Amino acid sequence: MVTEPARLGRKRDASRDAAILDAALAELAESGYAGMTTDAVAARAGVGKAAMYRRWPSKAELALDAVARLDGASIDPEAIPDTGSLRGDLRAMLTRQGDVDDERRLRVMVGLASMLADDERLAAAITGPWVDANRTIIQRAIARGEIAATTDVETMAAIIPTLVTFRVSIQRLPIPPSYVGMLLETVLLPALGVDDRQQL
């Protein structure tokens, strides 16, 4: 008896993912998390709802990936600044952060504010890429002997991303490079034992 080969489902078109995530970010910015619907995202991206549900079974998962695209796309883990000094590396990171579309980030973060307290994964997606980059920079500084080997790397790496998230999502204020530079010079570097302050 001859059996027919099983039919294979249509492969997911990965090229549509970027369009869907950008549409999700636009909906978050305009309607907030509570007002965002998968129907609206699908319509904006020009895709079928079934394809979206196969990739993102829930609205929360879609929002998580969209936020990761917003923040993570600007940080290449393979190209974290390595200037030879802690201050230089962090300053270079600030320059990159200032290049991100702050107005877009602000609108999206405000839209997500109601969900932040309820989903730890979302908070991690928002701050994670910056914490990871700062962790690498601080560990390099320890290896160079710039700061103490006993430094609490995890806490120090999270200070600025956490304060920036609070400013945007709770205070609803923008994050110009001058603000993050102030945090670097008055909070993070002194806490790391580097207190010869410079103007950023």
Non-local (6+) Cβ contacts of 53 within 8 A are 38
Dist CA 187 CA 197 (whole Å): 11
Tokens of 136: 């690498």
The pLDDT, as a whole number, for residue 129 is: 82
Q: Which ranges of the chain does DSSP label H, i.e. alpha helix? A: 17-35, 38-45, 49-55, 59-72, 86-99, 102-116, 120-144, 153-169, 177-183, 189-191
List, for residues 27-69, the tens digit of each pLDDT value. Answer: 988 888 888 899 999 999 999 888 888 889 988 889 888 887 7
Looking at domain 77-191, which of 1.10.15.40, 1.10.357.10, 3.40.50.620, 3.40.1360.10 is its CATH number?
Answer: 1.10.357.10
List, for residues 117-139, the tens digit of each pLDDT value. Answer: 666 777 777 778 888 999 999 99
Domain spans of the chain?
14-68, 77-191
Domain 14-68 architecture: Orthogonal Bundle (1.10)
pLDDT beyond 50 at 4: no
Is-contact 40 31, C-beta < 8 A? Answer: yes
Across the chain, what does the average pLDDT equal? 80
Dist CA 26 CA 152 (whole Å): 37
Q: Do domains 14-68 and 77-191 have the same CATH topology?
A: no
The pLDDT, as a whole number, for residue 89 is: 92
Question: Band of the pLDDT at 5, cuts 50, 70, 90?
Answer: very low
